[in-house]
Amino acid sequence: MAELVLTLNAGSSSVKCAVYETTDGAPVQIARRAFEGAGGAVIGLALDWAESQRPDGRLIAAGHRVVHGGMQFTEPLRATAEVLDALEALAPLAPLHQPGSLAGLRRLAALRPDLPQIACFDTAFHRTQLELATWLGLPRDLHDRGVRRYGFHGLNYEHVADRLTQIDRRLARGRVIVAHLGAGASLCALKAGKSIDTTMGFSPLDGLMMATRPGTLDPGAVLYLLQHEDLSPAEVEDLLYRRSGLLGVSGVSGDMRTLLASDRAEARDAVALFVYRAAREAAALIGVLEGVDGIVFTGGIGEHSPQVRAMIARRLAWTGLTLDPALNARPGEDRISAPDSTVAVWMIPADEERIVARHTLAVLNR
């Protein structure tokens, strides 16, 4: 009888699911889809769909992407009631994603109390960051209580690092900037496959401008909004998580595809700012690495927008980076740098689900 693992990645408005069959102890994906709706509301549908993929199979576990693990959770583990209660306290640090993940975990526990559930954390990959990279310029006691830089998108960064060992071993041992560009966006500096620094910090608001989030923001601007624009904390949260970024700057959309197709000046401004911020932050991480051997584009925009990749590459031409236009225009995983480029450039599609499935099996076998 086939043994199956269900992976669940709850976003703010949908749940991405995948089913893996274990083959020689390793996960092999057999199906993938997304369900529109919040985490807890669609779990029953996802469960029925997963089990229909192999009617003669047996579901042995469910693995969940959980955005924030805080200081306490630095590796995947079984999602016990005590773990869920601890993760609940971190929900204010990732309000777009953490509540949905927790709702999914609790709903599945109610439907299948005997099914092992494994929580896999986006923050865990960044536990290898430089110690200085975790600090904010705040009083030390706040740092000790968890007000520090964590980093996110770690499951996909782990996937990219793993793929590099298979497709470009020399680069995998070097200094790499990974650009996870999508509705949520961040960069990570890898040295020999380990996270050294990343643009997201205490929360997923930090770093690059995103679809509806502003990225790095002068804290004085937040104080101004509270004190002089008469916004409540809840209104500021809504502004920063849902009404800023590409959507806020353009006034058109938070979807890069819509903005690239638009002839409005505001849309062009939003795209230009996105590219500028990405190149500026990449340059900062190159400084942390003291050089760069390669850049990897991943995520929805990083995978599907040759135009954005080309614009960012032009701003980083000073590094010796040159794209091959024909390779950059082709879909699918590929090396897209020109033969004379001194910086290798790859496009690697995101695949957090594969890493979640792998971790889930590893925890089961401990």
Specify the long-range contacts of residues 284-291, CB closer than 8 Å, at least 24 apart.
Answer: 285/177, 285/187, 285/188, 285/189, 285/197, 285/199, 286/177, 286/189, 286/319, 288/130, 288/133, 288/189, 288/196, 288/197, 289/175, 289/177, 289/189, 289/191, 289/196, 290/175, 291/175
Q: Tokens 């003669």 map to which residue?
A: 56
Specify the pLDDT at position 40: 75
DSSP character at residue 138: S
Lowest mean pLDDT among 49-53, 269-273, 310-314: 49-53
Rounded-to-integer distance, Cα 4 and Cα 27, Å: 9
pLDDT above 70 for 12: no
CA distance 299 to 80: 31
pLDDT at 53 over 90: yes
Q: Looking at residue 13, what is its pLDDT?
A: 67
The residue type of 58 is: R
Taken in order 282, 295, 327, 155, the sign of the CA dihedral is negative
| Residue 39 predicted with pLDDT over 80 | no
Ordered by start, the domain boundaries in the chain are 3-121, 167-347
Q: Which residues contact 52 (CB under 8 A, 6 or more apart)?
A: none
**What average pLDDT does this structure show over 209-233?**
97
Beta bridge mates, 323: 337
pLDDT, position 275? 98
- Are the folds of 3-121 and 167-347 the same? yes
Distance CA 110, CA 112 (A): 6
121-137 per-position pLDDT tens digit: 999 999 999 999 999 99
Q: Model pTM? A: 0.96
26-40, 331-345, 348-362: segment of lowest average pLDDT? 26-40
Type of residue numbered 159: H
pLDDT at 11 > cutoff 80: no
For the segment 169-192, what is each residue's pLDDT rounded down to a tens digit?
999 999 999 999 999 999 999 999
Please give the order of strands across the beta sheet that includes 175-180: 194-198, 186-191, 175-180, 294-298, 344-347, 334-335
More confident residue, 96 or 68: 68
pLDDT for position 97:
87
CATH T-level fold of 3-121: Nucleotidyltransferase; domain 5 (3.30.420)
**pLDDT in the model for residue 66:** 97
Catalytic residue numbers, as ranges: 122
The residue-averaged pLDDT of 93-121 equals 94
213: tokens are 């989030």
Structure-block tokens of residue 190: 């890898």
pLDDT score at 41: 84
Structure tokens at 317: 């031409």
Q: What is the pLDDT of residues 311-351, one digit of tens each?
A: 999 999 999 999 999 999 999 999 999 999 999 999 999 99
User: What dotted CATH number matches 167-347?
Assistant: 3.30.420.40
Mean pLDDT across the chain: 96
Q: What is the pLDDT of residue 248?
A: 98
- Rounded to an integer, the average pLDDT of 153-162 is 98
What band does 10 get if pLDDT is binned at 50, 70 and 90? confident
pLDDT value at position 96? 85
Amino acid at 287: G
Q: Cα(194)–Cα(73) distance, rounded to whole angstroms?
A: 18
All residues at 6 or more sequence positions from 184 whose CB lies less than 8 Å from its CB, including other chains: 152, 153, 204, 210, 211, 213, 299
